[in-house]
Each structure stands twice: as C-alpha cells, then as structure tokens.
Amino acid sequence: MGFDKVRMGKILRELRGDRSLADVAKKVGVSASAMSMYESGDRVPRDQVKLALAEYYDRPVSFIFFGEESH
C-alpha cells in the first residue's frame, strides 16, 4: 500500500479524538497550523515529526502514514 495524504489526515484526525489540535501540536513540537495541515492532508510531516506522532499516539509509523495494519 502506498502513501496517501488523505488517508494520513483521516487517521491523524481519528487518533486525536477529543484532544485539542493545539495540545497535540505542542506535545509533538509543531505549530497548531502545521498540525491542521497534516490532518487535512495539505502537508506531510518531516520524519522527526512522524516519529513524534507515532510515539504520542502509541501507533506504528506505518499505520499512521501508510494505513498498514500492524501484525
């Protein structure tokens, strides 16, 4: 399965749940506007941010950014 920005944004929005955009952004070290762009699929985070998001949400990078189920 290849990279899909729309899928990435949907997964990020679902993982955020009831948390505020600003809170998640602060925890992973980006601006709220950057986080919003990731969730809308308008921007792809750099690798360091991908790792921070995966750690914050306790999900594999491959799940968040490629939609791959973990085995």
pLDDT recorded at residue 70: 58
Rounded-to-integer distance, Cα 24 and Cα 4, Å = 22
Kindly state the helix (H) or strand (E) to which residue 37 belongs, with its residue range: helix 32-40
- pLDDT per residue over 19-41, tens digit each? 999 999 999 999 999 999 999 99
pLDDT of residue 68: 76
Residue 69 has pLDDT above 80, yes or no: no
Question: Tens digit of pLDDT for each residue in 39-50?
Answer: 999 999 999 999
Overall fold of domain 5-58: 434 Repressor (Amino-terminal Domain) (1.10.260)
Provide the whole-model pTM.
0.89
